[in-house]
Structure 1
Amino acid sequence: MSQHVRPLYELRDEARTARARGELSRARDALWGALQHTIAREEEYVALTGEMREVLALQGDMRSALTVAWYAGTEQTQRPLLEHVPPIDRARTLLAWADRETSASRQQGLYAKAAEAYEEAGLVAQAAIARERGQDFERARALWSRLAQILSSSGADFYAAGLSRFNLARTSLRTGDTAAAREAVFSSVHLLEEAADRYETIGQRERAFDCYQVLIAIGRESSVFEHVLEGYVNVIRILREDHLRYYALQSYEEAVAAAEKQGETSAAATLSREMAAYARKEGLPMVANFAMLTQARLWQEVSTMALRRGTPPEIAENALLAAVIALGEAGQYHKVGDVYRALSELPLEESRRKHYGKARARYLEAQDLTIDASPLPAQLRHEVGFPEVWHVDLVEWEQAGSASQATGDVVLDPGQWSEVTRRRAMLARLTALAIEAQEEKGGASRDAPVLYATLAEQLSAVELYTILSPLERLFRRPEASVRGAVVRALSRFLYKRTFITVRDALVDADPTVVHEARKALEELRFPHAFDPLARVYREAQSQQTRQSAVRALSKIDTFEASELLLGIIRHDGSEERAAAVDALKKVRGMKFIDLARGALPELTGAPQAAVREILHDRGVSV
């Protein structure tokens, strides 16, 4: 993308003059320059896309013309182009029409046509999704079955295979075939567990997280609480390990509610106990108190249900004793006395009943402490729905890193993405289409590396998670200049998945790519980047890479990052210590300062001098 963009009005006038003279290439170049003004007013930008569409159509570049028409065009402007583009572009256009159609009958027809076009393009997953949207679950089920068989036989991608089996189970349920649904659920769970294990083994916990989220959805769809519980336990574990405490506490609340709804009251009480301990550790006493009181209530319900079922009274006794502990920790002493009364009334041996009666007497005059007990406050909640990864991730798998497809999805979704984001995606798609046209002719042109690097730069401006896959594919190019451009682009994508490619770049054969990767590493600083950054630090053979990881870690103001940095100052080499000292003197976070002040009396020699230097430069008296 050019660093110097001429004024929009100048470029537009040039394009109109060139077109009037029949100089279409010059008109196209001028309009291309005008479209770089991605922050222009909407009405101006829409007019530009209309003019560009007309020029591209006159040149016979129908795929690009349709792309531009997607931005603000209508069915009227898009329809004449459909017969001149490949099935994948027809399918995507028809799907967008169907999504915004208000007539139910016409909408179903459009979804059906989109599905047919996707099938013609060989895109089975996207065809099945279109059938589902059109409520044609019989045909959707057949497509998911076909895809599941293909993936299961290949054995290459457990995650995609598990998702396809889950979609088969969903559609089987909707068509009334419960036996097929049960079989598909069993296969899906097995495949997703296998995929999660593999992802965790190679350090891709965010992908394992998706597997566990799908397990929750499978459990809800199939009404099998075991899958729901397995999913939530692992989701919470990963969130806690990534230090996303508010997400973790929200997931605890959801898990407790799910368990209680399924009648799994003991599991709900156990989860509440774990939630209370975690909230207290994270310095959220009101949430911890809320969880303790919830736990006490649930244990009392366990006792009541046990007595109703006629189970041995010792089960009810153990549940009530757990409630006593919870209420005691929360300072609810009057309520403790009430529970001891319930214990004294259980059909137990006389000596135990007397013991509980005496315990109750000690609490007759006791009062409950006034405590702040409330769930996670609204301002700390993250009201974002979990995406349907059983669709989203299969679409990504099927697109196989195609930049033209990923950006096309963005351009066609004005409801989800901003005008500027869609404009940037449109420009990237136009470049991607130019590259595809060259590749189809066979052999790369001399300027191909420049085009690939330009595409990476354009993709970086989109900054959406869905763009990671095209960048990952671009990184596999043989040209070092392209790989370097990809790594520069990745520095703007603050996702854990970004580290997968950056780690590969850190050991690239080309030193310029390694240099770009180290620079990118220092930009990837966000709270849940701690784990991958720590892993880079531990595993890197290069001193410079370790220093870059240290600089990035210094900008993460969490206890875990601070503890690691203090450990580096205490125990690691002088180069790493120097990098940590230099970086920590420049940041503003206070977690390291608090930790270092407490540890200072125990330090000696160079580590103590290093910490004193940091504290002095930060203006902290010791």
Structure 2
Amino acid sequence: MDYQPKAHRAQQLIRQGNHREAIPLLRELLDYTFVVDFEYDEWLRWLADAYKKQGNHTPAGYIYLYLHYFDNAHDCFELGRSRLDLALCHEVRRNNKKAADLYRAESHFVRAAINLELTNNMKEAVSAWETTRSNIHDGEDPYPYALATVNLALALRKAGEVNRVRDLFIEAITIIEGLADEWESFGFLDEALGAYHVLCLIGQIEQRFENLAEGYCNAIRLLREQGQTFRVFRYYAAICEYGENLGEDHAVATLHREAADYAVRTGTTYQSFYLKQAAEAYMRVAGRTREKGNFPELAENAYLAAIDAYNQMGDVASVERCYRALASLELEEERTERYQRIAAETRTITREPPEIYPPGRLLLTPPKLPKVWRNELLAWESGDEPIAVLKNIIWNLEYSDVSRRQALILVLYYQDLRNKDVDDDPELLQRIARTMAGLQSSASYKTLRRLVENRHASVRAQVMSAAGSMQNAKGFILLEMGLVDASEEVQRAAVEGLKTHNYPEAFDHLVRIFQNHSRPDVRRVVLEALGKIGNFEAAEFLWSLLRSEAEDEQERAIRDAAGQVFVQLLTSEWRAIFQSQLNTEPEEVQRRLGPILTGMRS
């Protein structure tokens, strides 16, 4: 191993007491992040000891945080007079009261409040949230102010002081609604979506369907406008599940009808599934109305709405069942007789039960929403500084050893550059981008978003490589910025990064990139990624490309590439579905696409 001579030399220097020369050599060894724990940890112990012998206690404290030597870290931070680091040390040792006191002394009231909540000292936690809120000027920083208001309401609710909770939530909702509209108007769709997530979460906490509907329906609208089909269906699943649990069946039925219409517009095969869900919700409305003894006309309207949905999907047996239910209502004799007659006529119609193609399990699973109200506020308090994110990674075993080691290396670099302009060090910025890529925090994404605007093309290119490993929507936001960058180096890195996004949730983003970019290399990468996703939605999109006319040679080449990927995906079950669609196409299209369907894989 090429690092072993360095390690041997570093050990000699430590034994000789030559700590000044040992430190840079040990720092070089830290770059070998793949080394097994016992060797790496030994280098860290040498390095921490060398720093202490040089009187440099703060970096030694970070090393001890990594090693989980929290008592040693505490002593180092105390000697280094690094109070925020000392607070962090108490926090990770779960000395939350001491951590809160130190955070308050440094005016970090968000972290103070969180630590106080962990001690169940809700009275002081409420006070800390009150201070946070009063320190923010709602006119200058409305979003942090609204989030602080949400946290204050939650703390009061937990403390049993419920009198102000509803008013605080209303105040926060009003601000967030205005900000979301403003962000949308300026094209800041990711920020607007985050705001709608806050509304969703308030609705979940209060179990108020109107807040849930406002949050989820606006999020659905945004995602539909962006063409994110996969996510739209998952958000429909979420709001319908909440609505059903809260007894809002009429609203649930309406939402399922919307989902059915959306399924048709996006060319998916889920219309019958959502129509059936809508019809069943209308039936629940009718049943509940009859149980309560309400006006029979209300049940009649619900049954008729269910009939409309069942008719649209071709479920004759269910239509007959609905008419029989209508005939049993206490209505005017003429209407009752009419419903009896239609039920009898419907019974004579023979038709096969409709084929229903439900979405996959993923599309029926509500998405997990981030705790935006807290994460964004923590990021605001830290000033979105990478160092704050990195410090919280060093000790956290939820991250891999490699990520923790890389975070430690960067924190030590930050210590070296305390009095220098970090933006003038592209090598450090590239390393920051690589480390931040594996993290899922809001602050890490914001750091990468800022680095996309860095003047060094090498730094922006590294962000694109980093975005390739961020398998989420934020990774795509960064990649799309790279695809239109002025630097060819950055564009190439973005295309390379795009190749790794071949998982089901990437479908909507890949389709959007395909539609928004005409470059052949970008489109080919998207097609390859869709082939690796390998689900029915990917096959449907490829089929829609094959059905379209190619206007020039370049389009024909892309369509041929789509055909090759499509054939690799095709199964006998899917072939039957696409064959039935092909039978309705003009003869010229049938001649062109027929051979592709017969070339399916076994």
Partner Cα separation in structure 2 for residue 539 and residue 342 of structure 1? 51
Aligned to 1:51: 46
Aligned to 1:214: 198
Aligned to 1:122: 107
Q: Is the 8 A contact 1:290 1:375 kept in 2?
A: no
Tell me which of 26, 30, 37 is aligned to 1:35: 30
3-state SS, counterpart of residue 6 of structure 1: coil
Q: Does 1:426 align with 2:408?
A: yes
Question: Identity of paired residues, percent?
Answer: 24
Aligned to 2:533: none
1:68-79 residue pairs with structure 2 within 5 A? 68-79=63-74
Q: Does 1:349 align with 2:332?
A: yes
Check 1:600–1:19 CA distance in 2 against 1; reply closer, same or farther (3 A cut): farther
Aligned to 1:554: 527
Aligned to 1:167: 151
Note the C-alpha offset of 1:32: 3.0
Aligned to 1:265: 249
Note the C-alpha offset of 1:189: 1.6
Tell me which of 11, 15, 26 is aligned to 1:16: 11
3-state SS, counterpart of residue 153 of structure 1: coil
1:605-616 residue pairs with structure 2 within 5 A? none
Q: Is the 8 A contact 2:495 2:525 kept in 1?
A: no
Name the aligned partner's letter for residue 2 of structure 2.
Answer: R
Partner Cα separation in structure 2 for residue 142 and residue 231 of structure 1? 29
Aligned to 1:92: 88
Note the C-alpha offset of 1:20: 0.7
1:373-384 residue pairs with structure 2 within 5 A? none
Note the C-alpha offset of 1:328: 5.2
Aligned to 1:107: none
Deviations 1:194-244 (A, max 9, x none): 333344445554443332222122123234321111222234445566676
Aligned to 1:63: 58
Partner Cα separation in structure 1 for residue 383 and residue 567 of structure 2? 42
Aligned to 1:570: 550
Check 1:14–1:256 CA distance in 2 against 1; reply closer, same or farther (3 A cut): same
Note the C-alpha offset of 1:424: 2.9
Q: Does 1:399 align with 2:382?
A: yes
Note the C-alpha offset of 1:319: 0.8
Q: Is the 8 A contact 1:555 1:589 kept in 2?
A: no
Check 1:563–1:251 CA distance in 2 against 1; reply closer, same or farther (3 A cut): same
3-state SS, counterpart of residue 269 of structure 2: coil
Deviations 1:581-610 (A, max 9, x none): 67986898658x99999699768xxxx9xx
Partner Cα separation in structure 1 for residue 360 and residue 439 of structure 2? 30
3-state SS, counterpart of residue 253 of structure 2: helix
Note the C-alpha offset of 1:326: 4.1
Q: Is the 8 A contact 1:456 1:485 kept in 2?
A: yes
Deviations 1:375-410 (A, max 9, x none): 877677668743322112222233333222212222
Aligned Cα RMSD in Å? 4.5
Note the C-alpha offset of 1:284: 5.2
Note the C-alpha offset of 1:10: 3.9
Check 1:383–1:192 CA distance in 2 against 1; reply closer, same or farther (3 A cut): closer
Aligned to 1:192: 176
Partner Cα separation in structure 2 for residue 583 and residue 376 of structure 1? 23
Greater displacement, 89-98 / 254-263: 254-263
Check 1:588–1:115 CA distance in 2 against 1; reply closer, same or farther (3 A cut): farther
Note the C-alpha offset of 1:147: 3.5
Name the aligned partner's letter for residue 570 of structure 1.
Answer: A
Partner Cα separation in structure 2 for residue 564 and residue 428 of structure 1? 47
Name the aligned partner's letter for residue 18 of structure 2.
Answer: E
Q: Is the 8 A contact 1:465 1:495 kept in 2?
A: no
Q: Is the 8 A contact 1:289 1:374 kept in 2?
A: no
Greater displacement, 506-515 / 28-37: 506-515
Deviations 1:6-58 (A, max 9, x none): 24x44433222110112224433343344333333334433343333222332
Q: Is the 8 A contact 2:276 2:309 kept in 1?
A: no
Deviations 1:179-200 (A, max 9, x none): 5322221222223223333444
Aligned to 1:131: 116
Partner Cα separation in structure 2 for residue 171 and residue 130 of structure 1? 12
Note the C-alpha offset of 1:350: 1.9
Partner Cα separation in structure 1 for residue 37 and residue 553 of structure 2? 55
Unaligned runs of 5+ in 1: 99-109
Q: Is the 8 A contact 2:83 2:102 kept in 1?
A: yes
Tell me which of 397, 419, 439 is aligned to 1:441: 419
Name the aligned partner's letter for residue 202 of structure 2.
Answer: I
Aligned to 1:102: none
Q: Is the 8 A contact 2:460 2:490 kept in 1?
A: yes
Check 1:339–1:505 CA distance in 2 against 1; reply closer, same or farther (3 A cut): closer
Name the aligned partner's letter for residue 23 of structure 2.
Answer: R
Partner Cα separation in structure 1 for residue 257 and residue 30 of structure 2? 57
Check 1:189–1:378 CA distance in 2 against 1; reply closer, same or farther (3 A cut): same
Aligned to 1:104: none
Check 1:588–1:360 CA distance in 2 against 1; reply closer, same or farther (3 A cut): closer
3-state SS, counterpart of residue 555 of structure 1: helix
Aligned to 1:106: none
Q: Does 1:234 align with 2:218?
A: yes
Note the C-alpha offset of 1:129: 2.2
Partner Cα separation in structure 2 for residue 303 and residue 216 of structure 1? 29
Check 1:374–1:490 CA distance in 2 against 1; reply closer, same or farther (3 A cut): closer
Q: Is the 8 A contact 1:275 1:291 kept in 2?
A: no
Partner Cα separation in structure 2 for residue 124 and residue 369 of structure 1? 65
Check 1:211–1:36 CA distance in 2 against 1; reply closer, same or farther (3 A cut): same
Partner Cα separation in structure 1 for residue 423 and residue 299 of structure 2? 78
Partner Cα separation in structure 1 for residue 358 and residue 257 of structure 2? 14
Partner Cα separation in structure 2 for residue 277 and residue 538 of structure 1? 22
Check 1:495–1:445 CA distance in 2 against 1; reply closer, same or farther (3 A cut): closer
Partner Cα separation in structure 1 for residue 344 and residue 384 of structure 2? 71
3-state SS, counterpart of residue 357 of structure 1: helix
Deviations 1:313-350 (A, max 9, x none): 32221012223344556676555444334322333222
Q: How many residues align?
A: 581
3-state SS, counterpart of residue 473 of structure 2: coil
Check 1:357–1:245 CA distance in 2 against 1; reply closer, same or farther (3 A cut): same
Q: Is the 8 A contact 2:273 2:357 kept in 1?
A: yes
Greater displacement, 57-66 / 275-284: 275-284
Greater displacement, 71-80 / 379-388: 379-388
Note the C-alpha offset of 1:266: 1.2
Partner Cα separation in structure 2 for residue 373 and residue 504 of structure 1? 40
Aligned to 1:493: 470
